[in-house]
Amino acid sequence: MRKVSILAAAMLLTFTGSALAADKCPIDQRQSKAVGESTGRKVQKSFEAYQAGNLDEAITVLLEAAPKGEFDVAYVSRMLGNFYAEKGQMDKAIKYLKTAVDADVLGGVDHAGTLRLYADLLLQEKKYKEAISYYRKWMAFTCKTDVTVYKRMAVSYTELEQWNDALKTIDEGIKLAETPDKGLYQLKFTALFQMKKYKEAVKVLEITVPLFPDDKRLWVQLAQLYILTEDMDSALETYEIAYDAGFLETGDNIVRLSQLLASKGSPYRGAKILEKHIKSGLVKSDEKNLSMLAGFFHQAKELKEAAEYYGKAADISKSGKLYLKQGRILSLDQKYSAAVPVLKQALDAGLDNPGEAQFELALAYLNLKNLKAAYSYAEQASKDKKTAKSANSYLSYIKEKARLSKVSL
């Protein structure tokens, strides 16, 4: 046999007729009483079945009880509501609990417990407006304030998008809590965020993060909200702390950290972090991320790495623009022999302005002292409006150099 639950024990105490001392609070003024003799026999039999683990039998016995009188009906309805809730049949549980609470005749402890359970089930079934009403009835009846109740009402107001009521309820809960309640702070953040009060939402997170420093999600939320409010220095600082603590567990957050580092004057560190996590697989090795990584290395003047990653990005997308970038950087790094085939790949892949690659090829061949090839590509580049002026100026230069070197063009 299973242990008697706290709920069952409470029912048994009421059935046996325990009474409460009168006081000013409604719960203390409400006297308990026993059910009628006929109903009492059914209640006792049902309770014994419940104790023995036969929940279905316990329900069947109560359904056969046919109680008479408002109190007996409410009492049996309360038991049925509890039993159906335990079975997970929430529609039936809510139906019977409503009968019990609306009768408003049960003893103080029983009525309070039924109000609370009924409100909880209403919340669970997304009947938010009704749940709030019965939570407030519970507070009025018991003269108690409870952090969990405030939180559940706040959840209901949030779901109803009644943000001002949600904030008021949350603040009441926060004041009441003996220790900080993370859920309440998160609800407050959500409400302010939905109201587009982003700076106020930041302040909530600035309180919450030090209270719960091991919560990885809070650090990321704070960093992202700093970005939203355009406080990039604070965003970077927060992301770096979170990264060093091992809290950045998604590729998107690694990318954001790397972008912030690059934009705030640390492109090399941004590149190394991004490179590490591309290699680990956390950040996807696609054209977008590889070309971004190449850009960071380029910004950091690490030309070898920049050319390497532009090449990898270009090999994925077969993008003429990316091959052109790789070729330019190889030339900038004075690796002209390596630049030539890459620039030709750019032309083969297709460019809106092929003169750009042709002009770069002319310069590469010029540095390789291949004046004939340099002249040929400069001549081609002179036919592209974007590079015509520069190419024409080099054509004269190459002609003169060829004449002095006695090279036939």
Would residue 291 count as lying in a domain? no
Give me the pLDDT at residue 333, please. Answer: 96
Contact 241, 216 (CB under 8 A): no
Residue 311: closest CA among 296, 297, 324: 324
Where does residue 350 fall: left (phi above 0), alpha (psi -120 to 50 degrees), or beta otherwise?
Answer: left
What's the pLDDT at 230?
Answer: 96
Residue numbers of the domain that contains 68: 1-144
Pairwise CA distance, residues 259 & 271, whole Å: 9
Spatial neighbors of 404 by CB under 8 A, at least 6 apart, are: none
pLDDT in tens, 156-212: 999 999 999 999 999 999 999 999 999 999 999 999 999 999 999 999 999 999 999
pLDDT tens readout for residues 251-264:
999 999 999 999 99
Domain total in the chain: 1
406: left (phi over 0), alpha (psi -120 to 50) or beta: left
Domain assignment of residue 74, yes or no: yes
pLDDT, mean of residues 301-321: 97
The least confident of 37-46, 103-112, 226-235, 277-286 is 37-46
Q: Is residue 203 part of a domain?
A: no
* 372-383 mean pLDDT: 95
Residue 157 domain flag: no
Residue 92's pLDDT is what? Answer: 95
Average confidence (pLDDT) over 315-338: 96
Q: Can you list the alpha helix ranges (DSSP code H) found in 88-215?
A: 90-103, 108-124, 128-142, 147-159, 163-176, 182-194, 198-211
**Would you say residue 245 lies in a domain?**
no
Q: What is the mean pLDDT of residues 242-257?
A: 96
Decide if 238 is inside a domain.
no
Give the H or E element holding residue 205: helix 198-211
Question: Percentage of the chain with pLDDT > 70?
Answer: 94
Q: Check pLDDT > 50 for residue 15.
A: no
- What the block records as the tokens of 236 is 């970077």
Residue 8 pLDDT more than 50?
Answer: no
Residue 118: closest CA among 183, 161, 74? 74
Judge whether 252 and 224 are in contact, CB under 8 Å. Answer: no
Kindly indicate the confidence band of residue 3, based on its pLDDT and cuts at 50, 70 and 90: very low
- Indicate which CATH number applies to the domain containing 38: 1.25.40.10
Residues 321 and 346: their CA atoms lie apart, in Å, by: 7
Does position 16 have pLDDT exceeding 90, yes or no?
no
**Tokens representing residue 366 in the block:** 């010029």
- Is pTM beyond 0.75? Reply is yes
End-to-end CA, the chain: 103
| Per-residue pLDDT reduced to its tens digit, 122-170 | 999 999 999 999 999 999 999 999 999 999 999 999 999 999 999 999 9
72, 39 contact by CB (below 8 A): yes
CA distance 84 to 58: 10
Cβ-contact 339, 306 below 8 angstroms: no
- Which burial class, exposed, middle or buried, applies to 58 when counting CB atoms under 10 A from its CB (0-12, 13-18, 19+)? buried
Q: What is the mean pLDDT of residues 313-341?
A: 96
Q: Which two tokens stand for residue 196?
A: 């587009």
CA distance 25 to 144: 10
State residue 120's pLDDT score: 96
Question: Residues 6 or more apart from 88 whose CB is under 8 A from it?
Answer: none
Both structure tokens of 325: 């970038």
Mean pLDDT, residues 67-74:
91
Asked if residue 405 has pLDDT above 90, the reply is no
| pLDDT higher than threshold 60 for residue 19 | no
